[in-house]
Amino acid sequence: MRPRKPGIGHTLSSTSQRSYWLGRYLERAESTARLIIVNANLLLDLPVRLPLGWRPLVHITGSEPEFDKVFKRSNERNVVRFLISDLRNPASLFSSLNLARENARTLRGRMPRAAFEYVNELVLYSRQSLSEPLSRTRRVAGLSRVMQMIQQIDGFLSGNMLHDALWGFLRIGNFIERADMLSRIVDLHSTDILGGNRPDPASFQDVQWRSVLESLSALQSYNATRQGPIDEVAVLNFLFKSPSLPRSYLRCLNQIRYNLRSLPRNERPLQAVNRLRREIEAVGSEAFAGDRLHGFVDDRQQDLAELHNTINRTYFDFKPRLPRA
């Protein structure tokens, strides 16, 4: 075989965009699976049977209008089906996985060959094991396996994919989605989902924030870092400002910054992410307190949307200036 001449590797805007969305969809699928598992556990811990126990998940995933078009009742069966297998829900687990696969398919040439095979297997597995309504135990087993498979893909890519610009975009997609999901989960708990029904406010708050930590895989870390007893302000401080918790808001921003640094033309996106970092570092506990929490979370979501727009404008959807003759 003849020696190959060296070439310069380029990263197309369109390819980068697909990598970014692959990162987002995989992360979204994992979060969705985790949310459903955690919510089922939360309901078991609650002192009363709540009529609206599953509705909040529809809210978190931002798909209430789609849900109400299809279903009348927000019971477990409907919500779970809507969140897992319903392709009419653009944010369902299956929709996210399908979109992840379509993006992975077009990236096949730029990722290790096995990556697409794994994503493909993930889609096939989830269809096979989660299409029908299931008992809670079997559903949890299926969803746990899905989460595990996604984590394996993450790990596989990290260990085998070229850590180039495409990898950078994949990670940025991961972390923007992760930060976004964190804010959605917290937002859900910023409103009083129990209304006046709580028999013992203090102990219930405990349960609620414990479940938030769990849904972010952060309970063990919370205890390990000796944050003290579980209370709202301590949990929120941990979730938004911990530099070491893998799913904290600050850590997501730090990861986005880290990945942006090795990308070309990164001035504006770096400015944007640094601004968000400064803002969160300056925030004091009073910003989380009581009524302010919802507004605080809202601001974070808007910030993330703007960061997304900046990245989109810089790399994916820019108008090229073509040289004159």
Partner 1 sequence: MAIDWDRYDSGLAWDELIAPGGKPRPGGGGLCRTLGRLSDAELAERKAAAELAIRAMGITFAVYARGKGGSIDREWPFDIVPRLIRKREWDAVTAGLKQRTTALNRFIDDVYHEQRSLADGVLPRELVEQSREFRPECVGVDPPHGVWSHVCGTDLVRDADGRFHVLEDNLRVPSGVSYMLENRHVMKRVFPELFENLAIHPVDDYPDRLAECLRSLSPREVEAPQIVVLTPGIYNSAYFEHAYLANAMAAELVEGSDLAVGPDDVVYMRTVNGLVRVDIVYRRIDDLFLDPLAFNPDSALGVPGLMRAWRAGKVALANSPGCGVADDKVIYTYVPELIRYFLGEEPLLPNVPSYRCVIKDERDEVLDNLDKMVVKPANESGGYGMMIGPQASRKEREAFARRIRAKPRNYMAQPMVTLSTAPTLIGADAEPRHLDLRPFILSGADTYVTMGGLTRVAMRRGSTVVNSSQGGGSKDTWVVGN
Q: Which residues bind partner 1 (CB under 8 A)?
A: 1-2, 4-14, 16, 87, 94-95, 98, 102, 105-106, 108-110, 113, 116-117, 120, 165, 263-265, 315, 318, 320-325
CB of 312 to partner 1, least distance (A): 12
CB of 93 to partner 1, least distance (A): 13
The distance in angstroms from the start CA to the end CA of the chain is: 41
The secondary element (H helix, E strand) that includes residue 292 is: helix 292-311
The secondary element (H helix, E strand) that includes residue 133 is: none
Smallest Cα–Cα separation from 28: which of 106, 89, 118, 107?
A: 89
CB of 264 to partner 1, least distance (A): 5
Nearer to partner 1, 127 or 294 (CB): 127
Smallest Cα–Cα separation from 239: which of 204, 203, 189, 273?
A: 189
Q: How far apart are the C-alpha atoms of 67 and 140, rounded to whole Å?
A: 22
Nearer to partner 1, 188 or 263 (CB): 263
Nearer to partner 1, 54 or 315 (CB): 315
Nearer to partner 1, 4 or 72 (CB): 4
Q: Residue 15: CB partners within 8 Å, gap ≥ 6?
A: 106, 107, 110, 166
CB of 222 to partner 1, least distance (A): 38
Q: Are residues 83 and 71 in contact, defined by beta-carbon separation less than 8 angstroms?
A: no
CB of 29 to partner 1, least distance (A): 15
CB of 8 to partner 1, least distance (A): 6
Nearer to partner 1, 90 or 195 (CB): 90
> Cβ-count burial of 19 within 10 angstroms (0-12 exposed, 13-18 middle, 19+ buried)?
buried
Q: How far apart are the C-alpha atoms of 88 and 204, rounded to whole Å?
A: 35
Nearer to partner 1, 1 or 282 (CB): 1
